[in-house]
Chains A and B, each alone.
Chain A
Amino acid sequence: MSNPNPVSGSPDKEPATEAQEARSEARANPTAPAGDSERAVAATATKEPPAEPRPSLGRLFLDNLWAANTVTVTVLAVLLAMLVGAVLIIVSDPAVLATYGYITARPSDAINSSWTVVSEAYANLFKGAIFDPEASGFTAALSPISETLTYTAPLVFTGLSVALAFRGGLFNIGAQGQATIGVILAAAAGFALPLPPGVHLLVALIAGAAGGAIWGFIPGILKARTGAHEVINTIMLNYVAVYFLSWIIIQNGVQNPRRADAISKPVEASAQLPRLLGDNLRVHAGILLAVLATWFVAWLLNRSTLGFELRAVGANPDAARTAGISVTKTFVLVMVIAGVLAGLGGSNMVLGSTADALTPQVVAQIGFDGILVALLGRVKPWGVLMAALLFGALQAGGNRMQSYSGISLELVTVLQALIVIFIAAPALVKAIFQLRAARAARLQTSLAKGW
């Protein structure tokens, strides 16, 4: 799928096409709000049809923008989800609902109150996630972004974990369990080992990664040796991990001696990920690691021999075997690497700013959200990063929406689920918006496989 030179046309035709593109783009799109990204979309899309009599590039640009390409479908899915979310906001507010009782008499009441509650909710979502225009001061202005990035970092790791396994033909439902074992080992290294700063953090991260690796290795080797289905085994191992976490927290030497509830000793400062924008903002170096991990997974998938094997096994294990690739070895390796990624995601939850000690809920839902992130990101590394950003933003914004507009945080979960449903059913989005079928088939296959 990698495509180093997305611009179409043979080299000798290059100058003409580019000039033409510039001209027609100016004509077709005088305002060009997000010129660069849209241009990229158009460029990758124009590559598709090898049609001999080429229509003007402006025409192609518009056609492809409205064709069912990945970006369009994703944006429309988000819009649709917010539309359904708006209905839920209206329905769940008794005061607004009451105005619908006399909608025939005074429709303006119902419309106005609905508009107010929905626009306020989404405005708060935006202010909590990206930027608050009323905020005064450096810290307050950056706070939404900081929150978003804090929520994003672990989701990138778990999303990558699921996406990588998916590309290797395995459905890793076990990111949650791998993250859980990762968080336990990372925290243990963080509070039990007396090491100097820097080294301590590195050791804690490695411990977290190793924990995930172990938890990924088990279903991997079971699949390779016995053919046991990884979906079943990873689900079961999730339970084992979660209850192991609950048990280990209250053991002597782990539990915080000054506390009666189930919480472990805190991770020492020397093992914590440094904060990036001062102590008042929560964003920490985890997001940098997440970007690094994304780059690494992208390289692994597209530019490494291991990635080649992995993709071959994922797409057609019979052909891979015939070509001399060891399918069983690849299965095990894929699951181990997926486990490492999920384990690092888990480590983020205790070495970063979210928490500094183990509790039964310390990993939250990052493993399961990782599945959604991977699907939303279309199981491509950079797509996963974008999807995690969106989910992180929804989380951060949802907190503000809850406290300012009184709308339950669960709405965010519903929004996330709806987005993924619309993405997973591109035919639905297409039907609603009457998009042309350009690439819908490909969108569908990336998600439909694996079972």
Chain B
Amino acid sequence: MEPGEIHALLGENGAGKSTLMNVLYGLYQPDEGEILVDGRPLKLKGPSDAIAAGIGMVHQHFMLVPVFTVAENVMLGAEQVKGGFTGFLDRRRARREVAEVSERYNLRVDPDAVIEDLPVGIQQRVEIVKALTREVDLLILDEPTAVLTPQETEELLAVMRSLKAAGKSIVFITHKLGEVKAIADRITVIRRGKTVGTASPSASRDELAALMVGRSVRLTVDKKPATPGKPILEVSGLVVDDDRQVRAVDGVDLTVHAGEVLGIAGVQGNGQTELIEAVMGLRPVLAGTVTLDGETVHGWPTKKVLRAGVGYVPEDRSVDGLVKEFSVAENLVLDIYDRPPFGKGLSLKPDAIAQSAKERIEQFDVRTSSADAPVGTLSGGNQQKVIVARELSRPLKLFIAAQPTRGVDVGSIEFIHSRVIRERDIGTAVMVVSSELDEVIGLADRIAVMYRGRIIGVVSPDTPREEIGLLMAGITPDTAAAAPEGPGNEDNA
């Protein structure tokens, strides 16, 4: 690493990126080998050693106390006291430091804001501020963009540029090729715990992707034109509140036909999650109707909706999709455990479950040491394949996939996409919700853009990205004249 360099670490899920960085940050001990800082070997016993050596880390999952203010979070672990041994916390100094750092690097963080009120992108900047106040020279960002909207990603990249200008070095861990190309000075690709290559950002996306997965992959989804049939899912006038009783879905009408993929694009938090949860019976419908193949299903319990032939890949696999302590086999029957052949009356049929698990693991290329391994030990991509395998293993009328490839490596993305299309081709109505515009454009036959709880427009996937990006920002062609530059138009070489 050179000073003032942005070094991207690229690799599939489970390739060992995060492990490597945790070693750098002192969380894990290396079994062999050494770390050199300024030419001197370094022995790290814990994060405090790492911070002392000038290494800071922003984790994929933020380490912030939600009810504390920004300043309080920043001083946490390095509390300054005043008044000698009386030990009053020097809040004013912490606030000043936050303000200073945020000013210097143009981070725009309010020291008095309470963390839980802040959007994810700002929370991440708080983490960066936290590291910077410890005066680190090397900042590790572990998949920083996984949770960000396109605009927030843009802003993060800008922050990274200004840090670089100030002479800080950054290790940027990701598996998104576009971002790497946009910002990195040097790229190291890791596969299965080994460095497989170093590339310059001028390398093409396809080259990088091939390095990552070890073979050539298609980034575009290969599909034939859709042959839409009768309407399967019809939603009209749907109104749903979110967990805080704030209106999240405000009068949505949409139809999904058999044999087509309806993509729902939109910046996260515009009601997509609530819309799907309402369809699945996980969230009360306040007004409007939902019909499935002509039958009114709103108000049904989730089990009945699933039984009616709906497959559902939830947005957050670790929270809603899987029971991590359960084995792969058990997770593969999580919503059909009580149906023949897996369950009869009160008793489970372990043999049938094991047999089916074996088949699914084979068919869906789930990489696991065994069907009895806890699903939590699998990499993100393979966990997602478990969910997809489960949902696509029964005859479906409607398949709903929310963020089907979030945090999933390139190889698995390709596989999951091909499965979604295969499901469409056998006549299932498919609804894909994703905050990755590329994914929606690649998969969908029609794209509905959601903004502030409404469908703001339905467009064809051939529509230029810029136009969809503007819709995602709430700017319809009518109002476009007054619009500033839209989001989502990041480079797409």
Contacts and interface: CB of A to CB of B under 8 A. Distances in A.
A312 B326 contact: yes
A325 B303 contact: yes
Contact of B321 (A50, A315, A319): A319
Q: Which of A304, A312, A322 has the most CB of B within 10 A?
A: A322
A311 B303 contact: no
A355 interface: no
B306 interface: yes
Q: Which of A2, A315, A316, A323 has the most CB of B within 10 A?
A: A323
A106 interface: no
Q: Top 3 A-B pairs ranked by shortest CB distance?
A: A324-B303, A323-B335, A322-B320
B369 A304 contact: no
Contacts of B325: 315-316
A137 interface: no
A228 to B, nearest CB: 20
Contacts of A4: 350
A303 interface: yes
Nearest to B337: A308
A51 to B, nearest CB: 10
Interface in B13-30: none
Interface in A298-317: 302-309, 311-312, 315-316
B350 A305 contact: no
24 contacts: A2-B350, A4-B350, A50-B369, A302-B348, A304-B348, A305-B345, A305-B347, A308-B348, A309-B337, A312-B334, A315-B323, A315-B326, A319-B322, A320-B334, A321-B282, A321-B302, A321-B320, A322-B282, A322-B312, A322-B314, A323-B306, A324-B306, A324-B335, A326-B303
B323 A319 contact: yes
B88 to A, nearest CB: 32
Contacts of B348: 302-305, 307-308
A380 B348 CA distance: 18
B339 to A, nearest CB: 9
A315 B301 contact: no
A306 B334 contact: no
A226 interface: no
B343 interface: yes
B338 interface: yes
Nearest to A50: B369
B330 interface: yes
Given A305-B337, A323-B334, A324-B306, 17 more contacts: A302-B348, A303-B347, A304-B346, A307-B348, A308-B330, A309-B337, A315-B323, A316-B323, A316-B324, A318-B320, A319-B319, A319-B320, A321-B320, A322-B312, A324-B302, A324-B335, A325-B303
A113 to B, nearest CB: 47
A3 interface: yes
Interface residues on B, range: 20 to 34
Contacts of A304: 346-348
B206 interface: no
Nearest to B334: A323
B222 interface: no
Interface in B218-252: none
Interface string B302-322: 111111000010100001111
Nearest to B342: A305
A68 B304 CA distance: 45
Contacts of A325: 303
Nearest to B368: A50
A306 B320 CA distance: 20
A321 B314 CA distance: 11
A157 B364 CA distance: 44
Q: Which of A2, A50, A315, A326 has the most CB of B within 10 A?
A: A315
Interface string A319-337: 1111111100000000000
B372 interface: yes
A306 B282 CA distance: 21
Contacts of B320: 318-319, 321-322
Interface residues on A, range: 20 to 34
Nearest to B372: A3
B72 to A, nearest CB: 25
Nearest to A322: B320
Interface of A: 2-4, 50, 302-309, 311-312, 315-316, 318-326
A441 to B, nearest CB: 11
A302 B314 CA distance: 26
Contacts of A324: 301-307, 335
B312 A305 contact: no
Contact of B350 (A303, A306, A309, A319): A303
Nearest to B339: A305
Contacts of B338: 305, 308
Given A303-B348, A306-B346, A320 B323 contact: yes
A40 B370 CA distance: 20
B325 to A, nearest CB: 5
A50 B312 CA distance: 32
A311 B347 contact: no
Interface string B338-356: 1000010111101000000
Contacts of B343: 305, 308
Nearest to A312: B323
Contacts of B307: 324
Contacts of A308: 330, 337-338, 343, 348
A7 B307 CA distance: 38
B384 to A, nearest CB: 14
A215 to B, nearest CB: 24
A311 to B, nearest CB: 7
B397 to A, nearest CB: 16
Interface string B380-401: 0000000000000000000000
A326 B301 CA distance: 9
Q: Which of A308, A318, A321, A325 has the most CB of B within 10 A?
A: A308
Contacts of B314: 322
Contacts of A303: 347-348, 350
Contacts of A316: 319, 322-325
A322 B321 contact: yes
Nearest to B319: A318
Nearest to A308: B337
A144 to B, nearest CB: 39
Given A312-B326, A326-B303, A319 B334 contact: yes
Nearest to B304: A324
A3 B312 CA distance: 30
A315 B304 CA distance: 23
A306 B346 CA distance: 7
A10 to B, nearest CB: 10
B192 to A, nearest CB: 13
A306 B345 CA distance: 10
B483 to A, nearest CB: 38
Contacts of B282: 321-322
Interface in B390-427: none
Contacts of B326: 311-312, 315
A325 B336 CA distance: 10
Interface string B279-291: 0101000000000
B35 to A, nearest CB: 23
A296 B362 CA distance: 34
Contacts of B334: 312, 319-320, 323
A303 B343 CA distance: 9
Nearest to A4: B350
A2 B372 CA distance: 9
B373 to A, nearest CB: 8
Contacts of A50: 369-370
A163 to B, nearest CB: 16
Contacts of B372: 3
A303 B334 CA distance: 14
A238 B334 CA distance: 36
